[in-house]
Amino acid sequence: MESASASGVSGAGDGLEARRNQRALRLLFATGAIILALGLGWSLFFFSQGAGLVALTEAALALLGIAVILAARLRHVRVASWMAFLGLFAFVCLFSARLDVHTGDIPRTTHLFLLVLAGAAHHVFRSERAWLRYGCVCLFLGAFVVFAAMPEGVPARYAIPDELRRVGIWINLLTVVACLLVVMHLQESDSAAHRALHRSLRDALAARRFVLFYQPQIDAGGRIVGAEALLRWNDPKRGLVPPAEFVQAAEDTGFILPLGQWVLAEACRQLQVWEADPRLRDVRLSVNVSGLQLQQPDFAAQVLETLARTEVAPERLALELTESVLVHDVAEAAASMRALGVAGVRLSLDDFGTGYASLSSLRRLPFSELKIDRAFVAEVVRDAHAASITRNLLQLGIDLGLDVIAEGIEDDAQFAFLQGQGCQLFQGYLFGRPMPVAAFETLVRDAVPAPARAFT
């Protein structure tokens, strides 16, 4: 993986995720502001009508709006989202049960906001686990059904009088309709953008508008021994588009399967070309693999067939898997990984140290290499905690008999520290940014004489 914003085929949704977070923050600011305005407005209205308890309840709604705004300002998207939804759910339920009581003259309307919450939760929490997302939706809809089915009740002395509820019923109904239209618009906008991007990706693959860039990997002596193949979309309008702009959409739609297959075939074709050059025939290529690819029953056969067709030695190809794959897909992936390992294909565990992989997985699966995540490498000189973690990760790799490569190296101090800790393989902007194949070939030819085989 690269040391800045771009990446390979998998684990490259950072840019898209950043834009989603930015959009979510704007939505949360707006939501907080609306909650605050409604709470203050209704609080003043009910206070002027002598309904002090109702006014205090609305004031609590205003405080919720302030809390959501503060959490959004601190960029705590998930916290602000859950605070808004759970806070509004509790408020609507309390208000519907005790203050907005259904009578023969005026029906209850506050509970209608539960429909808005259910629709919004289905959209906003699409990145959460399915049981959590749909659990919230079912909770909101279940509460709506309960309040809708409640018979007429006798209002308590602190409930809102019918003459005041007669004013609020139209405001509530219009507000619910407006909110539902907004939620529908957001969902349709996202779906339309998703479909458009998928069509563009499909057309780009058919028109051969994807290209691989290569970022050098060096050994402790400064010799280029490999490269990571990194995907770019050569769009006629936008120029070279980094994978952070499109890979997450490819994952979501399943387009990552044909795209990943193209990357694998192109990497093997390039290795075949390099076989004729004495200075390049020993360079190893690393290719990112997504969890969806690994789940395919015939994935190992696809890889081995591509290697056989291009007559490339399996040990010259490394497949990089992110740690998250070992959490969700390890059972399905194990057979493919073992078949590839037996054939000689190197398996690299990317983003090592981010907390997903277990030691039992590392022992059971045929990994050849660990890549220390750049988040640790970036702080090894300034942060003693990061330095200690990096030392331990290096030692763990050594104890397991695996090669360890540190990625994201951007200055000499980081390089010197890692060398001092026994690291043997390195990748980062200090040694070269991702570059077109011609530039990479020139870099290798100009850097070293024809080497003996680096990987056996």
Q: How many CB atoms lie within 10 A of CB 205?
A: 17
Per-residue pLDDT tens digits for 270-296: 999 999 999 999 999 999 998 888 888
Given a cut of 80, is residue 11 above it in pLDDT? no
Q: What is the rounded distance in angstroms from the CA atom of residue 340 to the CA atom of residue 161?
A: 73
At 167-187, the pLDDT tens digits run 778 888 888 898 888 888 877
Residue 435 CB partners (closer than 8 Å, separation 6+):
213, 214, 215, 443
d(CA 187, CA 418): 47
**The pLDDT value given to residue 327:** 58
Q: If pLDDT is split at 50, 70 and 90, which confidence band does 358 have?
A: low
Looking at residue 452, its pLDDT comes to 39
Residue 143 has what DSSP assignment? H
Tokens of 152: 């007429």
CA–CA dist 3, 407 (Å, integer) = 7
Q: Is the pLDDT of residue 330 over 80?
A: no
One-letter identity of residue 390: T
69-83, 119-133, 307-321, 415-429 — which is least confidently predicted? 119-133
Q: Are 269 and 317 in contact (CB under 8 A)?
A: no
Strand duo 425-427 + 210-219: pairing: antiparallel
Could you give the CA distance from residue 363 to residue 333 in angstroms, rounded to a whole number? 15
- Mean pLDDT in residue range 131-141: 91
Average the pLDDT over 201-223 and give the result: 90
Average pLDDT over residues 260-269: 95
**For residue 17, how many other CB atoms are within 10 A of its CB?**
13
Q: How far is 189 from 373, CA to CA, in rounded Å?
A: 35
**Hey, is 210 helix, strand or coil?**
strand
pLDDT for 221 beyond 70:
yes
**Tell me, what's the pLDDT at 243?**
82
Which tops the pLDDT comparison, 362 or 405? 405
- pLDDT value, residue 249: 76
Percent of the chain with pLDDT over 90: 36
- Which one, of 44, 39, 153, 50, lies nearest residue 96 by Cα? 153
Give 10's pLDDT tier (boundaries 50, 70, 90): very low
The pLDDT, as a whole number, for residue 156 is: 67
- The phi-psi region of residue 284 (left if phi > 0; otherwise alpha if psi is between -120 and 50; otherwise beta) is beta
Q: Average of pLDDT values for 146-172?
A: 80
Give the CA distances from residue 425 to residues 157, 283, 366, 398, 455, in Å, rounded to whole numbers and listed in that order.
Answer: 75, 13, 19, 12, 12
Alpha-carbon distance of 409 to 243, in angstroms, equals 20
Residue 451 has pLDDT above 50, yes or no: no
Q: How far apart are CA 96 and CA 63, in angstroms?
A: 19
Cα gap 42→36, rounded to integer Å:
10
The tens digit of pLDDT for each residue in 368-427 reads 898 988 888 888 888 888 899 889 888 888 888 889 999 999 999 999 999 998 899 999
Residue 455 clears pLDDT 60, i.e. is over it: no
CB burial of 362-386 (b: ≥16 within 10 Å; e: otherwise) equals beebebbbbbbbbebbbbbeeeeeb
Alpha carbons 76 and 94: distance in angstroms, whole number: 27
Average pLDDT across the chain, whole number: 84
pTM attached to this predicted model: 0.67
3-state secondary structure 212-279: EEEEEEEECCCCEEEEEEEEEEEECCCEEECHHHCHHHHHHHCCHHHHHHHHHHHHHHHHHHHCCCCC
Classify residue 102 by its DSSP letter.
-
Output the DSSP codes for 296-353.
STTHHHHHHHHHHHHT--GGGEEEEEEHHHHHHSHHHHHHHHHHHHHHT-EEEEEEET
Closest CA to 45 of 63, 62, 58: 58
Beta strands in 71-133 (DSSP E): none
